[in-house]
Structure 1
């Protein structure tokens, strides 16, 4: 089922990118708004947006004629759509579907008996860390490429994190967004570089993409380590509180 959904989404997204390129070439402002609105819909309805992010980089680069403007405009469009969509999803989870999201988190089972599912673990970490480090935890979760962006929006809405901390933590999606938009921008640029014999440009684009992956990987690893540290400290605080209550 997941494979079918992924194939359908990829095919549908490719049609959107084709339409966006046509729209951007004729009406740049309209094309920008078009991609932004589509990203809002993808985010709210839990449709993976990585293909659309890459497609945005490709579309804006083709329309603007260069990767620099393509990355800049593509990143702005995706970040705008992702931010608005994530805030809408957060508000829906908090004020309309909170009980449903909490029930889903509670019933999400792991593959092995006795283990805690990632969704439940992240929700527990968010809920218990709001007063001391809510923004920090949410920001680190946003940095980690292993945490599903769309799912986290709804999980966060069911916790006690403030809307302002949640919005500030959206800055954590910037590195990954820039990388995926950059990858999309190079898709057209690599072709033109090869045809024109621009070897230096080709090398720059490839090396830049590899360095981007390494950078995001390092950031994700550090975010994972910080989350583990935060969870250990939380467990220690809870254990200390339990011991204090048990003393006569």
Structure 2
């Protein structure tokens, strides 16, 4: 009974620690007030008479679900007409934008509320254009349509017609083209060694992926690469200003520096422009409208240079830079966790050190999902090791471990203590994890009991490393504090159990 109470008490501490309560996001930490949470946006819709909601998504997505009272708009509506430029993606002129706004019943006094596809940048591209041309009253809903639904707010389906009687829209404030950069501005920035920021994803900036095959691979000479999606949390809302600032501080990019941003076609860079100006309060920030599409075109004409890194240098960077590895796993979607799990299985079967990959799970997946994926990978790996030892390579495993002190202690413990010895050897590192998996296959313990108990009782030990790595990587004080306390409680519990077992077994 005493043994059972020890284990139950320890597991209770672990489960209490894992049960984290949600933390309300503080929007007052941002430099500006343009970004609003869905609840505030909903109250704006109820209280303000002159407000228009523009949903910046494709028509089909809008028809499936949208905020009631909103209108659909897409990038082609606020882009230059075909033939105006030799390349696509440029912004529309003020006259076209004014006509578009008028068709939605917008006036210069209207509060425009923008909503997009989660973290995607199209809504921020429209914000950048409207703000630059002089419309002052604009808000953007954090998290887009996903954030709206996550807040438990209502969505409807179907088509929505524009107002029967449009308005005549006039930009009453002067346009500020200093918020935009052109080709010559970028050339001058290169000559003056100013900050040019490539906001494309790592794989795109490094030339592994490309939206348009005809576009050249490479980057603008001397540019930094900070992907736009590093600004977004896993719930598709923006990270805190402290986390975001930390990313720029690592690159030595400070508030006093003039910055030009570019992406594939000026969308992700508009998103980053919003981040720097509205969330961090940077002043001298310009979005290069032509971005890589224009620069690539000009390079094909011999007018500008394209910078590329050696392929081996690029590949090595993915092995040494956590953010790049994380971006690849994240890009794989459901295949990312699967890749991690397969690697963990391989590490387990080969009796390789599991600590490095265990810590990596916390960094890549966070303190909660890191524990989950580690448990799955370790659970499958220890199950396969057991089956190999019992049914496939028993004789070889016996020759390797049958006469070792580890096997004799575990075999004796299984006979005398049953499931308790299995729980203890999983809770604390009395014996190497990888070797245990094969040794247990030589004992009399049943497979189902072994798998279930092993998977459950490896969680506390591995979670200490995963939680600490995930918590400190997050940069959030509340998360760091919560999971540090949890990990400390688990570690203290492990120490207590270790002393009891060492004394009992004379280890």
TM-score (norm 1): 0.66
| C-alpha distance after superposition, 1:93-127 (max 9, x if no partner) | 0112212222223444xxxxxxxx2343223333x
* Unaligned stretches of 5+ residues in structure 2: 1-315
Q: Does 1:53 align with 2:358?
A: yes
Q: Does 1:122 align with 2:410?
A: yes
Equivalent position of 1:173 in the other structure: 458
* Unaligned stretches of 5+ residues in structure 1: 1-10, 61-69, 109-116, 230-248
Whether the 8 Å CA contact 2:358–2:465 is kept in 1: the answer is yes
Equivalent position of 1:151 in the other structure: 435
What SS does the corresponding residue of 2:381 show, helix, strand or coil?
A: helix
Alpha-carbon offset, residue 150 of structure 1:
0.9
| C-alpha distance after superposition, 1:114-164 (max 9, x if no partner) | xxx2343223333x34xxx42222122111222211100100001111112
Q: Distance in 2 between matches of 1:52 and 1:16?
A: 14
Q: Distance in 2 between matches of 1:201 and 1:78?
A: 20
Q: Does 1:186 align with 2:491?
A: no
Q: Does 1:38 align with 2:343?
A: yes
TM-score (norm 2): 0.34
Alpha-carbon offset, residue 87 of structure 1:
0.5
Equivalent position of 2:445 in the other structure: 161
Larger Rg: 2
Give the 5 Å matches for 1:12-27. 20-27=325-332
Equivalent position of 2:495 in the other structure: 217
Q: Which has the higher helix share?
A: 1
Structure 1's consecutive aligned runs of 4 or more residues displaced over 3 angstroms after TM superposition are 14-20, 200-212, 219-226
Residue among 86, 101, 107 paired with 2:382 = 86
Whether the 8 Å CA contact 1:71–1:182 is kept in 2: the answer is yes
| C-alpha distance after superposition, 1:8-46 (max 9, x if no partner) | xxx9xx659666512333233111111111001111110
Q: Structure 2 vs 1, CA of residues 207 and 71 (structure 1 numbering), >3 Å: closer, same or farther?
A: closer
Whether the 8 Å CA contact 1:135–1:168 is kept in 2: the answer is no
Q: Distance in 2 between matches of 1:25 and 1:74?
A: 13
Instruction: Kindly indicate whether structure 1 or structure 2 has the higher relative contact order, using CA contacts under 8 Å at least 6 residues apart.
Output: 1
Alpha-carbon offset, residue 202 of structure 1:
5.4
Equivalent position of 1:67 in the other structure: none
Whether the 8 Å CA contact 2:468–2:484 is kept in 1: the answer is no
Equivalent position of 1:241 in the other structure: none
Whether the 8 Å CA contact 2:411–2:443 is kept in 1: the answer is yes
Equivalent position of 1:95 in the other structure: 391
Q: Distance in 1 between matches of 2:330 and 2:439?
A: 38
Q: Which has the higher strand share?
A: 2
Q: Distance in 1 between matches of 2:329 and 2:402?
A: 44
Q: Distance in 2 between matches of 1:29 and 1:102?
A: 39
Equivalent position of 2:247 in the other structure: none
Whether the 8 Å CA contact 1:144–1:223 is kept in 2: the answer is no
Aligned length in residues: 189
The worse-fitting range, judged by mean Cα deviation, of 174-183 and 202-211 is 202-211
Alpha-carbon offset, residue 50 of structure 1:
1.3
Equivalent position of 1:243 in the other structure: none
Q: Structure 2 vs 1, CA of residues 76 and 203 (structure 1 numbering), >3 Å: closer, same or farther?
A: closer
Whether the 8 Å CA contact 1:136–1:169 is kept in 2: the answer is no
Alpha-carbon offset, residue 217 of structure 1:
1.9
What SS does the corresponding residue of 1:28 show, helix, strand or coil?
A: coil
Q: Distance in 2 between matches of 1:19 and 1:134?
A: 46
